[in-house]
Amino acid sequence: MTRSFLMIGQSNMAGRGYLKDVKRIYDEQIRMLVNGRWQTMTEPINYDRPTAGVGLAASFAGAWRLKNEPEQIGLIPCADGGTSLDDWGVGGALFDNAVVQAKLAQRTSELDGILWHQGENDSVAGRSDAYYDKLCIIVDALRLELNTPEIPFIAGGLGDFLSSGRYGNYFTEYNEVNRALQTYAQTKPNAYFVTSNGLTANADGLHFDALSQRKFGIRYFDAFHGRKSVLSPLPDELDLIVTIQDRALTKNEKSTLLEISFARGELALHELEEQLAKLEQ
Amino acid sequence: MTRSFLMIGQSNMAGRGYLKDVKRIYDEQIRMLVNGRWQTMTEPINYDRPTAGVGLAASFAGAWRLKNEPEQIGLIPCADGGTSLDDWGVGGALFDNAVVQAKLAQRTSELDGILWHQGENDSVAGRSDAYYDKLCIIVDALRLELNTPEIPFIAGGLGDFLSSGRYGNYFTEYNEVNRALQTYAQTKPNAYFVTSNGLTANADGLHFDALSQRKFGIRYFDAFHGRKSVLSPLPDELDLIVTIQDRALTKNEKSTLLEISFARGELALHELEEQLAKLEQ
């Protein structure tokens, strides 16, 4: 049965890396929930805004597949840009939507983990003080609603670039939020912290760039797989990214990608037919 | 209060028109439901597949706005490519997801209509015989679940191009489906049929092209506004499209579009700042 993971938080969980900056990850055994059903994953996975792009979930799933071939993984995208912990409050629209999407996924999968990245919007105006307590309430309620009391909860740190970027004045307490996330991982069962050390941003100084998101996903998977916090960059993260991105496509995957290009108007009909014919040779 | 519309059906409701083929529709009073909350609408609205593009909902909303300025309209995207009426069966994932999304929307809006386009996948293998009866069950259940017993249900016809395109063999019964949709509109209260006469397709002979989707949205709105079926093309549909697409943007809309371009990496920081400064002049 498909093993599924809920993606929640704000823009850096949704993903704002530029698609052009990294190679595509495409694998029919990596699925994403769309309208309550599984589709083959393509990026952007979490289309919350017109700026959605590469997030950490694709390389997380790719790393999962390296350890779990030939099983299937499913991603449940529910992150939403610019949202605070109050926005994620129990019974609010974001929380309820995430619960419903995860429950739809649970009809045909086993929910195996919660991937969290959030906190930029709680890094200002004294909000970081209440971060730990608010997070406890949300995660407890989510585990209860989903009937997964011991499900791993994996939270990544906020980027060190935040305070120096264009929007730096909004993130004066990002270190306090990072400490709250680490304390959460240290004090709560089945919770893990993943460092963002060494990761870099787009020109906005706000969003992890695409390669950094790929690395972050590898670290998130290491935390999930080892049931441990990941407190420094992994020596093999670049190698793993190459392995995942350069995986040989099956004939069916190649033909589906051609059909997608045709449907998007990137290939003429005769080009599609020529290239499909080549695949048959 | 925002007036909202549920978008359901298959790919031609989700939209596969090419974005490059038409001018953008951008209006802060046209919203779309994302993760249970309202965001300013951008296309693609209904991101069900990597091929998602221009659908009929944007020009529908633009036409609604021309009649309802300065009120706000909200679109609830739940259409899913390649789906049959059986896929939309009551209690299935698509149906349940649409109900939940509409209910999330109802927390902060009045649900005013259901926009339906579907049937390609029921145009083969004798499936069209059961179209009318299956549709009755689905729409009745939807109205009941959403507590909107008299909500207008607007269904567009399948394109006349279907049988001659690349996938033509799959659509031998598209005329029978169109007849079932018309019969539905004639026999059921608050149900309207919208013709696809004169509309054209992408090179795939399957999906309405972008300009046709713009026209279709105008026709859908005419059906909604007049509470009547629309059985032939409207004389002013091209004029209305120009009016909607050429609407003057507010300063705030212009600056948001610049911020989006910057976040997507299409503008450098100094370009963003220069252009934002110009807006202030």
- ipTM summary value: 0.97
pLDDT for the residue A234: 98
B112 close to B153: Cβ distance less than 8 angstroms:
no
pLDDT for the residue A178: 98
CA dihedral of B106, B108, B110, B111, whole degrees rounded to 10: -40
Phi-psi region of B147 (alpha: psi -120 to 50; beta: other; left: phi over 0): left
Q: Looking at the complex, does the CB of residue A204 fall below 8 Å from at least one CB of chain B?
A: yes
Nearest residue in B to A165, CA atom: B269
Which of the four pLDDT bands, split at 50, 70 and 90, describes residue A49? very high
A6 close to A80: Cβ distance less than 8 angstroms:
no
The nearest CA of chain A is from the CA of B87 a distance in Å of 10
End-to-end CA distance of chain B: 34
Q: At what angle do helices A93-106 and A131-145 cross, to 10 degrees?
A: 40
pLDDT tens digits, B24-33: 999 999 999 9
pLDDT for the residue B163: 87
Q: Between β-strands B73-77 and A2-9, what pairing exists: parallel, antiparallel or unpaired?
A: unpaired
Give the Cα separation of A118 and A56 in Å (integer): 13
H/E segment holding residue B7 = strand B2-9
Residue B110 structure tokens: 């009045």
Percent of chain A clearing pLDDT 90 (strictly above): 96
Q: What is the torsional sign of CA A60, A65, A67, A68?
A: positive
Length of chain A: 281
Give the Cα separation of B41 and B54 in Å (integer): 12
User: Which residues, 6+ apart, have CB-to-CB distance to B86 below 8 Å?
Assistant: B134
Residue B242 structure tokens: 């120009």
**Residues of chain B contacting A168 with CB distance shorter than 8 Å:** none
A185 close to A99: Cβ distance less than 8 angstroms:
no
Give the Cα separation of B279 and B260 in Å (integer): 15
Q: How many helices (H) and strands (E) does chain B have?
A: 9, 7
Mean per-residue pLDDT of chain B: 97
Q: Which of B11, B34, B35 to mutate to test the interface with A (most CBs of A within 10 A)?
A: B35
| DSSP reduced 3-state for B204 | coil
| DSSP reduced 3-state for B32 | strand
Nearest by CB to B37, from A34, A93, A264: name it. Answer: A93
B8 close to B98: Cβ distance less than 8 angstroms:
yes
What count of Cα atoms within 13 Å lies in the side-chain half-sphere of residue B102? Answer: 26
Q: Looking at the complex, does the CB of residue A278 fall below 8 Å from at least one CB of chain B?
A: no
A155 close to A224: Cβ distance less than 8 angstroms:
no
Residue B166 structure tokens: 């690349």
**Residues of chain A contacting B269 with CB distance shorter than 8 Å:** 166, 203-204
**Residues of chain B contacting A93 with CB distance shorter than 8 Å:** 35-37, 104, 107
Kindly state the DSSP code that residue A19 receives in the 8-state scheme: G
Amino acid present at A5:
F
Q: What is this structure's pTM? A: 0.98
User: Which residues, 6+ apart, have CB-to-CB distance to B204 below 8 Å?
Assistant: A262, A263, A269, B165, B166, B167
Q: Where are chain B's structural domains? A: 2-247, 248-281
| DSSP reduced 3-state for B97 | helix
- Tokens 């941003």 found at: A201
pLDDT tens digits, A259-269: 999 999 999 99
Give the Cα separation of B232 and A125 in Å (integer): 58
Reported CATH class of domain B2-247 = alpha beta
pLDDT along chain B (281 residues), means of 10: 97 98 98 98 98 98 96 98 98 98 98 98 96 98 98 97 86 96 98 98 96 98 98 98 98 97 95 95 87
pLDDT for the residue A106: 98
Task: Judge if the upstream peptide bond of residue A70 is cis by omega within 30 degrees of 0.
Answer: yes
User: Which residues, 6+ apart, have CB-to-CB distance to B111 below 8 Å?
Assistant: B4, B5, B6, B102, B105, B146, B148, B151
H/E segment holding residue A3 = strand A2-9
User: Which residues, 6+ apart, have CB-to-CB distance to A187 below 8 Å?
Assistant: none
**CA angle A118-B36-B63, nearest 5°?**
125
- Tokens 């995207």 found at: B77
| Residue B54 CB neighbour total at 10 angstroms | 29
pLDDT tens digits, A167-210: 888 899 999 999 999 999 999 999 999 999 999 999 999 999 99
Q: Is there a contact between A48 and B42 if contact means CB atoms under 8 Å apart?
A: no
Pairs from A233-238 (Cβ < 8 Å, separation ≥ 24): A233/A195, A233/A197, A233/A198
Nearest by CB to A78, from B35, B49, B94: name it. Answer: B35
Amino acid present at B83:
T
pLDDT tens digits, A121-158: 999 999 999 999 999 999 999 999 999 999 999 999 99
Nearest residue in A to B205, CA atom: A263
Query: Over 90: is that where the pLDDT of A165 sits?
Result: no
H/E segment holding residue A83 = none
Which of the four pLDDT bands, split at 50, 70 and 90, describes residue A166? confident
